[in-house]
């Protein structure tokens, strides 16, 4: 991305195309003058902070497209699909949205939800830009997000090269598809690197404290603790690690990466336990104008995944333009042919078979004293990461 005009340069292509036929096989009550893009996310529930950031990012992109004439004169409308982070709620919401009429979909975030809702969109002739990371969702649309198979090597590299750990205790939420997948991938990756796993301790989400779990894993004398949970639980585990006054390093998995982790943990505890994630919204080169634009529009800082839904909407707009249609075959072909597209999150290209992003941006992020994520400078030095 060269400036906030990354989105605008893409829009210039979008609005310059002479003709565009928009079609969708889902039943539709939508206006022929709009392109309805569903945004599926946990907009309410325990992950609502994350979901609202996703929704706002999509809206920010739509605002920019529409301010520049839309897609060949057609306005983008973002349709909120609230899955509450729950597969059953997701199925209900996805079916209702399809019935009301959609042209494309961004999301969902939760892999367990996606395994239920992504097939619904496919059956309706829609092509999702998903934010799921479980390898089980490969091939179900396209994604700007890293996948489990792309995350585990980076996390292992950080544990070995930065933390200098020779043994690791795992704390795992075994109730979700993503965290189970991540635990399997990390077990294999750590083993390949010669790192001993001292214990794998399962937790159940919803507890008020995980102090006993932390005490139990620390008793196995690991060099580091790796936390594979979503952010409400990861924040409480970080609190317990801080309260234990231990010198053992802590690193939280990708599932914990969101501003909600800092909220749940508190700044001191979040600083004790960095998180594997992606560059923070303000860490991407030349992102200042986009961050300021988001903050002005929504009266809050961008969420961790706001840049990804922002770019997803713009990538879809670009692909729809090149395809001349939103029919599944045409849109899949256009997305698979995306090369060198530049957005808030950097350069985008896709693996045509899996729909995965190549390369996928994965980083280790620390929390500043102001309570914001930034890419860990020590990790950059240890691993040689470049944007």
Q: What is the pLDDT of residue 103?
A: 96
Phi, psi (5° rounding) for residue 319?
-70, -40
Nearest Cα neighbor of 174 from 203, 206, 215, 132 is 203
Q: What is the pLDDT of residue 16?
A: 33
pLDDT band of residue 383 (cuts 50, 70, 90) is: confident
Q: What is the pLDDT of residue 385?
A: 80
Q: What is the pLDDT of residue 24?
A: 41
Task: State pLDDT tens for residues 319-370.
Answer: 999 998 889 999 999 999 999 999 999 999 999 999 999 988 899 999 999 9
- Rounded average pLDDT over 277-292: 93
Q: What is the pLDDT of residue 28?
A: 44
CA torsion 225-228-230-233 (nearest 10°) is -40
Task: State pLDDT tens for residues 331-345.
Answer: 999 999 999 999 999
Q: Edge-to-edge, what's the strand order for the sheet holding 196-203?
A: 196-203, 167-173, 224-228, 249-252, 275-277, 363-367, 373-375
Q: What is the pLDDT of residue 298?
A: 97
- Set out the domains of the chain in order of their start, with CATH numbers: 5-145+282-348 (3.40.50.2300), 148-277+363-383 (3.40.50.2300)
- Rounded average pLDDT over 70-80: 92
Summary mean pLDDT of the chain: 90
Three-state DSSP state, 112: helix
Residue 83: both structure tokens together: 């899955």
Q: Which of 32-36, 255-259, 288-292 has the highest mean pLDDT?
A: 288-292
Residue 369: both structure tokens together: 């004293």
Question: Do 288 and 301 form a contact (C-beta atoms < 8 A)?
Answer: no
- Cα 256 vs. chain centroid, distance in angstroms? 11
- Rounded average pLDDT over 81-99: 97
pLDDT band of residue 5 (cuts 50, 70, 90) is: very low
Q: What is the pLDDT of residue 274?
A: 97
Task: State pLDDT tens for residues 196-247.
Answer: 999 999 999 999 999 999 999 999 999 999 999 998 999 999 999 999 999 9
- Rounded average pLDDT over 55-73: 94
Q: What angle do CA 343, 347, 352 make, to 5 degrees?
A: 115
Task: State pLDDT tens for residues 24-50.
Answer: 445 444 557 899 999 999 999 989 999
What is the 8-class DSSP label of residue 134? Answer: -
Q: What is the pLDDT of residue 14?
A: 35
CA dist list (Å): 113 to 58, 110, 132, 199, 228: 19, 5, 9, 28, 18
Residue with tokens 């979503």: 230
pLDDT band of residue 73 (cuts 50, 70, 90) is: confident
Q: Edge-to-edge, what's the strand order for the sheet holding 142-143?
A: 75-82, 34-41, 104-106, 128-130, 142-143
pLDDT band of residue 382 (cuts 50, 70, 90) is: confident
Tell me the pTM: 0.83
Q: What is the pLDDT of residue 384?
A: 82
Asked which of 200-204, 264-268, 284-288 is least confident by mean pLDDT, the reply is 284-288
Q: From CA 227, how far away is CA 211, in angstroms rounded?
A: 13
Task: State pLDDT tens for residues 124-166.
Answer: 999 999 999 999 999 999 999 999 999 999 999 999 999 999 9
Q: What is the pLDDT of residue 71?
A: 87
């Amino acid at each position: 991305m060269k400036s906030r005009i990354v989105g605008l340069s893409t829009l210039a292509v979008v609005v310059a195309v002479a003709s565009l036929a928009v079609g969708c096989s889902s039943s539709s009550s939508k206006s022929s003058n709009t392109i309805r893009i569903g945004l599926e996310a946990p907009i309410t529930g325990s992950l609502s902070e994350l979901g609202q950031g996703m929704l706002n990012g999509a809206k920010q992109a739509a605002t920019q497209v529409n301010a520049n004439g839309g897609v060949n004169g057609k306005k983008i409308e973002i349709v909120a699909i609230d899955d509450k982070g729950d597969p059953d709620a997701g199925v209900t919401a996805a079916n209702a949205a399809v019935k009301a009429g959609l042209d494309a979909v961004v999301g969902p975030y939760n892999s367990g939800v996606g395994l239920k809702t992504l097939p619904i969109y496919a059956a309706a002739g829609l092509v999702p830009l998903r934010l799921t990371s479980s390898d089980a969702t490969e091939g179900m649309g396209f994604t700007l997000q890293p996948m489990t198979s792309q995350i585990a090597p980076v996390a292992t590299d950080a544990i070995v090269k930065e933390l200098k750990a020779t043994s690791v205790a795992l704390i795992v939420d075994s109730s979700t598809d993503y965290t189970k997948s991540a635990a399997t991938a990390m077990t294999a990756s750590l083993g390949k690197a010669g790192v001993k796993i001292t214990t794998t301790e399962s937790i159940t989400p919803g507890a008020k404290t995980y102090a006993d779990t932390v005490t139990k894993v620390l008793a196995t004398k690991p060099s580091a603790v790796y936390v594979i949970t979503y952010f409400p639980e990861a924040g409480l585990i970080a609190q317990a690690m801080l309260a234990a006054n231990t010198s053992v390093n802590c690193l939280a998995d990708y599932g914990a990466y969101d501003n909600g982790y800092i909220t749940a943990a508190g700044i001191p505890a979040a600083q004790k336990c960095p998180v594997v994630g992606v560059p923070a919204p303000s860490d991407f080169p030349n992102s200042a104008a986009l961050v300021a634009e988001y903050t002005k529009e929504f009266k809050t800082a961008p969420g961790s995944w706001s840049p990804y839904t922002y770019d997803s909407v713009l990538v879809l707009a670009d692909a729809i333009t090149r395809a001349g249609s939103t029919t599944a075959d045409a849109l899949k072909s256009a997305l698979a042919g995306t090369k060198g597209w530049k957005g808030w999150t950097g350069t985008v290209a896709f693996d045509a078979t899996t729909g995965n992003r190549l390369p996928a941006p994965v980083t280790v992020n620390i929390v500043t004293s102001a309570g914001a994520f930034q890419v860990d400078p020590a990790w950059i030095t240890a691993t040689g990461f470049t944007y």
